[in-house]
Structure 1
Amino acid sequence: MSGSKKSLSWLNKLLPLWILIAMVTGILLGKFVPSVQAAFNQSTIVDVSVPIAVGLLWMMYPVLCKVRYEELPQLFKSQHAVKTITTSLLVNWIFCPFVMTAFAWATLPDLPGFREGIVLVGVARCIAMVLIWNELSGGDTEWCAIIVAVNSILQVLIFSPAAYFFCVIVGGGSNISIDLWLVTRSVLVFLGIPLLAGIVTRFSLRPTLGSKWYDEKFLPVIGPTSLLGLLYTIVVMFSLQGNRIIDDFGSVARVAVPLVLYFGTVFTATFALCALQRVPYELAATQSFTAAGNNFELAIAIAIATYGVNSQQALSTVIGPLIEVPILLGLVHLSLFIKDRYESVRQRRAKNGDLEGQAASGQSVLVSDLTHLEDTVNIMPNDEKASSGSSVIFVCRMNSCRSQMAEGWLKTLRMKAPAGTIGRVESAGLIGQSRVHPVAIKVMKDRDIDLSSQFSKGIDRFSPSDFDIVISMCGCGASVPEEWKIGKRFEDWNLEDPDEQPEEKFVEVSEQIHERCQELIASISEGRAPTYSLYSEADGCAYRPRPKNT
């Protein structure tokens, strides 16, 4: 892990504290330094204060630099693409607005102006801050970019009729007329600019300076600045409304009620739906946060243009993000808290289905695996019950391609290995977690190995004491922390990275991994060094046996 990334880790760790300080600072500035409001409101972009616009663009750009745009065509070709997009559309454009309208009517029946503003917030789907919440929760960056882009296009096409339908027809509010060009400009500015900047940055720097420099040097430095942009935006946003928050605190508190109910209900319901569909955690988090988040800058602009800057509708749309920020930050921590449990349940169900299918078809199933099947009543991390035999972890840079294929191969070969040879099998990333590469999933599926239930993990998720054998996949053995080598059998297979290469390279690397996994099992069962330890360093293996006294 780079030093720059470590030096900024405190920002992530103490983010709730920093956000609280930013909110209080903004309110105090707005209340006791009135000139700040005039300065911040001096100029606007699409009816949004320039300082807020700068903050929104600042916090979105680093996140969009991380999106692997080159993989998006593969995502659209995946078997889950249609279901993913359909689920997102139904939740975002039907379920969410109805839920917000229902809560607005249930809690604000005597405040029609505030109620209409809240309904507007529910119709405006998020295209900015959701990128931050998704990243903090470990969501799928690529799918988040796709869903945000789809929602942005739909906002241009159907926001006006949707707002009329929910505000007037369903909500029984006053007539509403929305400027289509205002919606279009909002999308072009707050999504178009940072998206274009992220694409240009990725496709210009990566080819010229190399993918390793981009992933390990550039992204760890620029990535944390998105949180600084978030904190800056919060200070500006709260300072612009400091007077109104304090002077009309009763209305603010009333308006907060439907918003809190909405965020909690939508997030929980979407996560539950994804769990029922056995969707991987990363995608479940993405779906849940894109559903719960709202495009407050668009809702504010529409409310001001339609009802006036001093209207109750405008005030309620402004209150929206003030409530959204702390609530969604709390949901990020909730998401991370349930992450391991969510993955455990989903993976065990997937594994149970595989074992039951093999037993029913008469295939060979080890006693240790049947024991594992019986013990699934205990919710534990992946393969924790597979304690007989050597425990193995494959380590790579991002836990996306090679280490994922190795985990899949060794788990499959374990089923036919001598009893007590291979126990727990895991994979992890050295510099963070990414996502299982769609081409790796396809190549392994062609070999009857399903990686769709696997997920990307960081090495800090595990403890070195849990493993007997540590295998570096990418020639980055020197980067593996020393505590992961002491007292271990350690190997560095030094396999070529197939990422951004044709499918044939994935096939080639997969076969190399297959051969080495077979030799790994043979060397363990026969109590000898692996034959691939005789390979030249260029071809692939640094081998260090496990000390006999451990």
Structure 2
Amino acid sequence: MSDAAPLSAFERWLSIWVALCIAAGLALGTLFPEAFGYLARLEYGSVNFVVAVLIWFMVYPMMVAVDFSAVARIHERPKGLIVTLVVNWLIKPFSMAALGVLFFHHVFADMIAPEDASQYIAGMILLGAAPCTAMVFVWSQLVRGDAAYTLVQVSVNDVVMVVAFAPIVALLLGLTDLAVPWETLLLSVGLYVVIPLAAGAATRAALTRGLRTMAEREAAVARFTGAVKPLSVLGLLATVTLLFGFQGDVILAQPALIAIIALPLLIQSYGVFAIAYAAALAWRIPHKVAAPCALIGTSNFFELAVAVAIGLFGLNSGAALVTVVGVLVEVPVMLSLVALANRTRRWFPAEETPLRRARVGEA
């Protein structure tokens, strides 16, 4: 049984607050389009700086909790990382492409023009080939994930993405001259991982300076992260409000099309989570690693997907629309999966036997 702290009352009702923020975003985006348009233009390389600041608020508490001594020992517990890599790079891009073909070339073929269907499939492929970089820290925090292990999972994913994103997308789209927007990729990693990680490490060092025992250091960190955690949730709610405010006109103008696009994305999200979560359960991976492991593959690096879609197909293309819909469905889906993961915590072991110790015992 995990010794994780129970969810706060606010967190237990987080889905309600998110629903209210979605409604508020749609309403505010309709009432004040100029203001939201101005905020949307505060970006570089398809990375919006207002959203970036809000994401800092979201991920900072978990970055403070990262224990770098634990990071150095993660090679002794490789199972979670293996599941993450297999699901993200050997399953997710191809299942997303298959679902796109199934729904847009077959299930909804009578409702969608063939050229539009191809665009929608392209957008799904771009989402499928871009696993999450930033928001996964938020989801990991909500399931009481292992902060150090989550950092390693995200970091390894980012390294793989640098070399694998373009070839996988090119293979699935049949393109030979795919241009990866490196500025978006590198800027996002820097903004969403490196900067908050550096801030978290500096804060942790300041909090633990002069404390002699591990118990004292962990208690000091726990008190601080507990105090700043509300900023994380508020950052999430503000981000939801902004995203739906930015795209409110698209949603309200084409609700049926949005629903059609959302359906295969929903199936993909829940399906990928089920595969990763079941694999982690079968392999007896602890919940604090298993839950973030499954959530990483479910969530998407939407900044990268949006940037590539716009660069390849244009701002008003069907591919770009799919990546935007992916952003909009992600938060409600991820919150439902966070709730599921928290309810099933008892299914998993509390700890994983380190590989080195297991081998010694077997000898």
Shift of 1:175: 6.3
How many angstroms apart in 1 are the aligned matches of 2:33 and 2:41? 13
Find the counterpart in structure 2 of residue 44 from structure 1. 43
Q: C-alpha separation between the residues in 2 aligned to 1:84 and 1:103?
A: 26
Which digits, 9 at most, give the CA deviation of each residue in 1:138-172, with x for residues without a partner? 33222111100111122222222222122226xxx
> Post-superposition shift, 1:36?
2.3
Q: Does 1:262 align with 2:262?
A: no
Alignment equivalent of 2:188, drawn from 186, 211, 214: 186
Q: Distance in 2 between matches of 1:102 and 1:437?
A: 35
SS in 2 for 1:108: helix
2:220 to 192, 214, 219: 214
The 5-angstrom pairing of residues 478-489 of structure 1 reads none
Amino acid at match of 2:87: V
The 3 A distance-change label for structure 1 pair 108 and 317 is same
Is 1:168 aligned with 2:170? no
**Of the candidates 101, 110, 118, which is equivalent to residue 105 of structure 1?**
101
Q: Distance in 2 between matches of 1:149 and 1:183?
A: 13
Q: 1:289 to 1:248 in 2, by over 3 A?
A: same
Does residue 83 of structure 2 align to residue 87 of structure 1?
Answer: yes
Equivalent residue number for residue 403 of structure 1: none
Residue 203 of structure 1 aligns to a residue in which SS?
helix
How far apart in 1 are the matches of 2:330 and 2:217? 36
Distance in 2 (alpha carbons) for counterparts of 1:302 and 1:162? 13
**Residue 280 in structure 1 maps to residue 276 in structure 2:** no
**2:245 aligned with 1:239, yes or no?**
yes
Cα deviations by residue, 1:399-436 (Å, 9 ceiling, x for unpaired): xxxxxxxxxxxxxxxxxxxxxxxxxxxxxxxxxxxx75
Query: How far off is 1:323 after superposition?
Result: 0.5
Preserved contact between residue 81 and residue 293 of structure 2 (Cα < 8 Å): no
TM-score (norm 1): 0.58
Percentage identity across paired residues of the two chains: 29
SS of structure 1 residue aligned to 2:73: helix
**Structure 1 residue 442, shift from structure 2 partner:** 7.7
**CA spacing shift, 1:58–1:91, aligned 2, 3 Å:** same
| Unaligned runs of at least 5 residues, structure 1 | 348-434, 449-550
**Corresponding letter in the other structure for 2:59:** M
Q: In the TM superposition, what is the alpha-carbon distance from 1:191 to its structure 2 partner?
A: 1.8
Structure 2: gaps (5+ residues): 106-113
Q: Distance between the aligned counterparts of 1:180 and 1:14, measured in 2?
A: 38
The alignment covers a number of residue pairs equal to 344
**Structure 1 partner of 2:64:** 65
- 2:259 is matched with which residue? 253
Q: Which has the larger radius of gyration?
A: 1
SS of the residue aligned with 2:93?
Answer: helix
Q: Quick one: structure 1 residues 231 and 282, their matched pair in 2 at CA, closer, same or farther if it must change by over 3 Å?
A: same
The CA distance in 1 between the partners of 2:69 and 2:44, in whole Å, is 31
For residue 224 of structure 1, give the secondary structure of its aligned residue in structure 2.
Answer: helix
Q: Is 2:181–2:307's contact at 8 Å kept on the other side of the alignment? A: no
**8 Å CA contact 2:54, 2:239 repeated in 1:** yes
Asked if the contact 1:139/1:282 (under 8 Å) is kept, the reply is: yes
Between the aligned partners of 1:166 and 1:207, the Cα distance in structure 2 is 51
Change (3 A) 1:103 1:175: farther
Structure with higher strand content:
1
Q: Deviations over 1:157-201 (max 9, x none)?
A: 2222222122226xxxx9643233432222222222212222222
Change (3 A) 1:198 1:325: same
2: distance between equivalents of 1:438 and 1:338? 21
Q: Structure 2 counterpart of 1:133, which letter?
A: W
Structure 1 residues 122-201: aligned runs within 5 Å: 122-168=128-174, 176-201=178-203
Matches within 5 A, 1:400-411: none
For 2:71, give the aligned amino acid.
Answer: L
Match status 1:114 vs 2:110: no
Alpha carbons of structure 1 residues 206 and 18: separation in structure 2 relative to 1, 3 Å? same
CA contact (8 A) 2:143 2:341 kept: yes
When residues 208 and 31 of structure 1 are mapped into structure 2, their CA distance, relative to the original with a 3 A threshold, is farther
Residues 65 and 225 in structure 2, CA contact (< 8 A), matched pair in contact too: yes
Q: Distance in 2 between matches of 1:289 and 1:444?
A: 27
Contact 1:63 1:226 in 2 (8 A): no
Q: Is the 8 A contact 1:178 1:306 kept in 2?
A: no
Q: Taking CA–CA contacts closer than 8 Å with sequence separation of 6 or more, which of the two structures ends up with the larger relative contact order?
A: 2
